[in-house]
């Protein structure tokens, strides 16, 4: 039993979160299979408004359109990272942004 846990932890450490992501291979919101994508890193203190975070959690939890790279720009892991995304989450994010822009322009 201890050996199994040790092997699972070792597997997670050597292959990263992608392994655990593959174990949960469907979007919890849309129920469709996640697809791999090479996304760019975003560096620095990324500020996101609370409305975005709330919408992401509720409507597009698996948008995965960029990877957090940390506070300082570096490319020790390469210029991109493989993340798993849901195509419907990306569509939902585009619609959410469009609706926000439309409501802001109407004000
Ligand atoms: Zn989704």
Angle between helices 87-106 and 50-59 (to 10 degrees): 140
Each residue's pLDDT tens digit, 36-91: 999 999 988 888 889 999 999 999 999 999 998 888 888 787 889 999 999 999 99
Domain ranges of the chain: 26-106
CA 31 to centroid of ligand 1, rounded, Å: 7
7-28 mean pLDDT:
58
CA proximity to 57, closest of 22, 24, 96: 96
Cα→Cα distances 68→27, 73, 86, Å: 20, 10, 18
CA 97 to centroid of ligand 1, rounded, Å: 16
CA 73 to centroid of ligand 1, rounded, Å: 29
Beta bridge partners of 85: 35
CA 83 to centroid of ligand 1, rounded, Å: 14
pLDDT at res. 63: 96
Each residue's pLDDT tens digit, 20-32: 555 679 999 999 9
pLDDT at res. 11: 44
State how far the Cα of 107 lies from the Cα of 103, in Å rounded to an integer: 7
CA 77 to centroid of ligand 1, rounded, Å: 27
Residue 1 has pLDDT above 70, yes or no: no
């Amino acid at each position: 039993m201890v050996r199994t846990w040790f092997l699972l932890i070792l597997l997670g450490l050597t292959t990263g979160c992608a392994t655990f992501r593959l174990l949960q291979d469907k979007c919890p919101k849309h129920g469709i299979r996640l697809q791999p994508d090479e996304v760019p890193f975003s560096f620095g203190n990324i500020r996101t408004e609370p409305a975005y975070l709330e919408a992401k959690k509720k409507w597009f939890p698996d948008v995965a359109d960029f990877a957090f790279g940390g506070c300082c720009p570096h490319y020790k892991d390469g210029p991109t990272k493989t993340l798993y995304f849901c195509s419907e989450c990306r569509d939902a994010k585009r619609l959410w942004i469009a609706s926000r822009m439309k409501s802001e322009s109407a004000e």
